[in-house]
């Protein structure tokens, strides 16, 4: 059985953090360190087909949730605080509703329990133009990617996945082909009648379209004890765009 790769920081109550689509555990290093300095044993996890975790042809939220359970069993974690962003938020929701006894409290960052149509085509179109037989460093990769993806922040986020596959040959850590083929599955909803009635916090960016007021009723249906709070001056990458407020609101909830 493959066990997910992670970085473990600090000591205290187990706190599992799940990154978003095309992300990795490193995206949460700064915030993870803050939580770890304040009473938590933080597990920054790479989900399957991402970061340094195993690659697999199979990819759906039941499997992603089971991966976390296997990880918890491997590390002898009976229950944990769980937080996920975007795709990781869907994994966290599936985990909490499937195995409520394993989740002490749940935090979901900028994703709702609903279906999202595929909307990453422009990213994969850009990434598919990168020819690593010709590109020899990150700057060249960024120059090529900028022809297809104008937002520098998105490019920087994607280029964090570059690594040296072998001497003088770059490649992506994520499983490009499988993730490109499974885009439809990324947008899938959690199980239709799933319910987690433990303490839950949904955080949404005030500039993000991912959680709208008309989603609140559906959130409460699946998560009857959910609080919904807004992070100011933040879009979908709310933890990176307003880390101070994100930390304050999440830490207050974890300790309430």
- Average pLDDT on 124-148 reads 92
Helix (H/G/I), strand (E/B), else coil: 20:
coil
Which of 36, 236, 239, 250 is the catalytic position?
236
236 carries an active-site annotation: yes
pLDDT in tens, 149-158: 988 888 999 9
What CATH code is assigned to 6-116+189-255? 3.40.50.1820
- Max intra-chain CA distance, the chain: 53
pLDDT of residue 79: 98
Band the pLDDT of 185: cuts 50, 70, 90: confident
The length of the chain in residues reads: 256
Alpha-carbon distance of 218 to 4, in angstroms, equals 31
Which of 73, 143, 177, 197 is the catalytic position?
177
Residue 74 burial by CB count (10 A; 0-12/13-18/19+): exposed, middle or buried?
Answer: exposed
pLDDT in tens, 61-120: 999 999 999 999 999 999 999 999 999 999 999 999 999 999 999 999 999 999 999 888
Which of 86, 98, 208, 250 is the catalytic position?
86
Tokens of 256: 């309430």
Q: Within the chain, which residue ranges are assigned CATH 3.40.50.1820?
A: 6-116+189-255
The overall average pLDDT reported for the chain is: 95
pLDDT of residue 184: 82
Contact 200, 225 (CB under 8 A): yes
């Amino acid at each position: 059985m493959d066990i997910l790769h992670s970085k473990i920081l600090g000591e205290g109550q187990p706190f599992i953090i799940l990154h978003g689509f095309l992300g990795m555990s490193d995206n949460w290093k700064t915030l993870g360190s803050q939580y770890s300095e304040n009473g938590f044993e933080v597990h920054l996890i790479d989900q399957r087909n991402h970061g340094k975790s195993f690659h697999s042809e199979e990819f759906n939220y039941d499997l992603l949730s089971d991966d976390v359970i296997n990880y918890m069993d491997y590390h002898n974690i009976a229950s944990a605080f769980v937080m996920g962003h975007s795709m990781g938020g869907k994994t966290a929701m599936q985990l909490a509703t499937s195995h409520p006894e394993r989740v002490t409290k749940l935090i979901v960052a900028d994703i709702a329990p609903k279906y999202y149509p595929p909307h990453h085509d422009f990213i994969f179109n850009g990434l598919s133009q990168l020819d690593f037989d010709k590109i020899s460093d990150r700057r060249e990769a960024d120059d090529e990617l900028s022809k297809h993806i104008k937002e520098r922040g998105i490019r920087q986020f994607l280029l964090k996945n570059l690594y040296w596959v072998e001497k003088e040959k770059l490649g992506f850590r994520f499983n490009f082909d499988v993730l490109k083929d499974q885009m439809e599955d990324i947008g899938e909803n959690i199980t239709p009648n799933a319910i987690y009635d433990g303490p839950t916090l949904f955080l949404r960016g005030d500039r993000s379209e991912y959680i709208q007021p008309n989603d609140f009723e559906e959130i409460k249906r699946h998560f009857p004890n959910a609080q919904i709070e807004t992070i100011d001056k933040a879009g979908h990458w709310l933890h990176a765009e307003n880390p101070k407020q994100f930390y304050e609101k999440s830490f207050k909830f974890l300790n309430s």
